[in-house]
């Protein structure tokens, strides 16, 4: 009969453990289902996967160096790597809670027992070991939650990598775009200065009026006024790149200061399928890891108010001196199981479980939103890239026509066929078209960069310190 209680307890423990493992939190809503292909993606685009280092498809060695340097030295990225290391260490701490723990102690002194006029010396050594038998999975749930938290931070690190690559490429495109607009404005200013000199010569010959000269000078000064703005944009972009890369070497700074145009996106870009996107995009993966952590916390809260079985062993030796520590009669020990059951704390534990379930629901809803936003982000980026490329093609044709019109207008004015207003108008249209084309080139490149980021590319499993050592 004396074995009846342990057998009943073991049976109850197994039954409760089975309930704990079977209970999983239910999603608050039906998960979003993605389609088989992105809207706006062609067949070849959907069939091909995106390039991880998508910026290399722009075929710009300066940009390649910039991105590689930013991924190796950016302070936000290094800080994210440190956060991952910390989270992994804390997850390992939770894992160690499944193993026995304990310690040893030693003491020495002089004592006097109450009621006896006797004093003597004592020396004591001891140790204790404790192990919680995780019958219902409370400790395992805590370890699973900590591991999922670490995974979430690791995905956040990958997201920072993708963001840093995109920010670097986007800022570089803005820089080259500002330089492109500066060159175009300088060329137009030179044309307008030639027109001003022509008008002044015609006025000296009586074939032009003072009003013509004033109009030509006003148009030239208006164009020259835009140059400092572009120069300021260039300085700001170089400074931003210096921060992203945590300092630029002199040769790279010199390459950035040289003239250039935004790199042209490739003609064909692989985007894959939406299912591939969800497995690749860091913010979706991070949201999924947070759902896993919240689910583990629900499991932990569900069994937190169930009995806890701990095996504890304590041993000590107390003797009047070091020489007698080995005597068996000085040894005392205590070894056995201990059951703790917070039965009276049921209301507080019920509220903890309610809070954990609400946390799971919130994380699941955020994950579902991340799925939907990721797909829409890719589709919007595809549309923006297509629109910018079509706009760029139109503006290239417009610039070609405006250049020919300006040349004809100057010839006809010089020959006295047309009034000077036609020259001013043709040169104004040319300046606007060239500036719009330079801006369109920038938008096209930036749209490609945003598509690369939307596709979840731009990260790898290499950490920043490994990249920086290359």
Model confidence over 75-119: pLDDT tens digits?
Answer: 998 999 999 999 999 888 888 888 888 888 887 777 766 666 676
Contact 179, 234 (CB under 8 A): yes
Q: Would residue 231 count as lying in a domain?
A: yes
Q: Would residue 118 count as lying in a domain?
A: no
Q: Would residue 74 count as lying in a domain?
A: yes
Q: Would residue 126 count as lying in a domain?
A: no
Looking at per-residue pLDDT, the higher value among 120 and 292 belongs to 292
Angle at 70 between CA 65 and CA 75, to 5 degrees: 160
Contact 219, 428 (CB under 8 A): yes
Predicted pLDDT of residue 465: 41
* CATH code, domain with 265: 1.20.1600.10
Q: Would residue 123 count as lying in a domain?
A: no
Q: Which of 140-154, 387-401, 451-465 has the lowest mean pLDDT?
A: 451-465
Q: Which of 111-115, 137-141, 224-228 has the lowest mean pLDDT?
A: 111-115
Most confident listed range (130-134, 135-139, 369-373): 369-373
For the whole prediction, is pTM greater than 0.85? no
Contact 27, 146 (CB under 8 A): no
Return all residues near 195 (Cβ < 8 A) that are at least 6 apart. Answer: 216, 220, 410, 423, 427
The whole-angstrom separation of Cα 203 and Cα 217 is 13
For residue 435 the two structure tokens come to 């500036």
Predicted pLDDT of residue 233: 96
Q: Would residue 55 count as lying in a domain?
A: yes
Give per-residue pLDDT as tens, 39-76.
Answer: 888 888 888 888 889 999 999 999 999 999 999 989 99
Q: Which of 126-140, 156-170, 280-294 has the lowest mean pLDDT?
A: 126-140
158-179: burial string, b at 16+ Cβ within 10 Å, e else = bbbbbbbbbbbbbbbbbbbbbb
The residue with tokens 């290094």 is: 78
Structure letter (DSSP) for residue 458: S
Q: Would residue 7 count as lying in a domain?
A: no
- Count of domains for the chain: 1
Neighbours of 379 (CB within 10 A): 17
**How large a percentage of the chain has pLDDT more than 70?**
90
Handedness of CA 191, 196, 197, 198 (dihedral sign): positive
For residue 157 the two structure tokens come to 């690190």
Confidence of residue 459 (pLDDT cuts 50, 70, 90): low
For residue 343 the two structure tokens come to 């039965």
Looking at per-residue pLDDT, the higher value among 374 and 26 belongs to 374
Confidence of residue 376 (pLDDT cuts 50, 70, 90): very high
Q: Would residue 211 count as lying in a domain?
A: yes
Q: In which domain, by residue range, is 281 found?
A: 28-97+139-287+348-468
Strand 119-133 and strand 308-319: the pairing is: antiparallel
């Amino acid at each position: 009969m004396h074995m009846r209680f342990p057998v009943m307890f073991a049976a109850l423990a197994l039954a409760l453990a089975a309930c704990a493992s079977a209970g999983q939190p239910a999603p608050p809503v039906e998960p979003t289902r993605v389609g088989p292909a992105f809207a706006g993606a062609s067949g070849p685009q959907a069939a091909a996967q995106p390039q991880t280092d998508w910026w290399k498809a722009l075929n710009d060695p300066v940009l390649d160096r910039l991105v590689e340097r930013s991924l190796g030295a950016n302070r936000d990225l290094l800080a994210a790597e440190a956060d991952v290391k910390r989270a992994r260490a804390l997850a390992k701490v939770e894992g160690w809670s499944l193993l026995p723990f304990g310690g040893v102690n030693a003491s020495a002194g002089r004592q006097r027992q109450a009621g006896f006029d006797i004093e003597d010396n004592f020396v004591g050594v001891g140790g204790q070991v404790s192990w919680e038998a995780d019958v219902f999975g409370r400790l395992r749930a805590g370890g699973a939650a900590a591991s999922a938290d670490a995974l979430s931070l690791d995905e956040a690190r990958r997201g920072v990598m993708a963001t840093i690559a995109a920010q670097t490429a986007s800022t570089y495109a803005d820089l080259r775009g500002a330089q492109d607009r500066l060159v175009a404005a300088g060329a137009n200013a030179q044309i307008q200065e030639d027109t001003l000199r022509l008008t002044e010569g015609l006025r000296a010959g009586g074939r032009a009026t003072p009003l013509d000269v004033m109009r030509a000078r006003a148009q030239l000064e208006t164009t020259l006024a835009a140059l400092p703005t572009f120069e300021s944009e260039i300085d700001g972009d170089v400074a931003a790149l210096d921060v992203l890369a945590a300092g630029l070497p002199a040769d790279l700074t010199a390459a950035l200061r040289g003239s250039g145009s935004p790199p042209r996106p490739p003609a064909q870009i692989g985007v894959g399928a939406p299912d591939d996107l969800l497995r690749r995009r860091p913010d979706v993966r991070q949201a999924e890891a947070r759902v896993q952590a919240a689910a583990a916390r629900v499991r932990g809260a569900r069994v937190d108010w169930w009995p806890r079985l701990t095996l504890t062993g304590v041993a000590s030796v107390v003797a009047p001196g070091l020489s007698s520590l080995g005597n068996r009669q000085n040894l005392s020990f205590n070894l056995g199981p201990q059951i703790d059951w917070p039965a009276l704390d049921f209301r507080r534990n019920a509220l903890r479980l309610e809070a954990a379930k609400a946390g799971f629901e919130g994380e699941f809803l955020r994950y579902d939103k991340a799925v939907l936003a990721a797909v829409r982000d890719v589709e919007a980026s595809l549309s923006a890239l297509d629109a910018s490329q079509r706009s760029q093609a139109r503006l290239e044709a417009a610039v070609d026509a405006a250049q020919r019109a300006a040349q004809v207008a100057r010839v006809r004015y010089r020959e006295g066929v047309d009034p000077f207003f036609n020259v001013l108008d043709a040169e104004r249209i040319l300046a606007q078209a060239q500036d719009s084309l330079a801006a369109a080139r920038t938008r096209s490149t930036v749209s490609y960069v945003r598509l690369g980021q939307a596709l979840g590319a731009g990260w790898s499993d290499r950490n920043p310190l490994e990249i920086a050592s290359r």
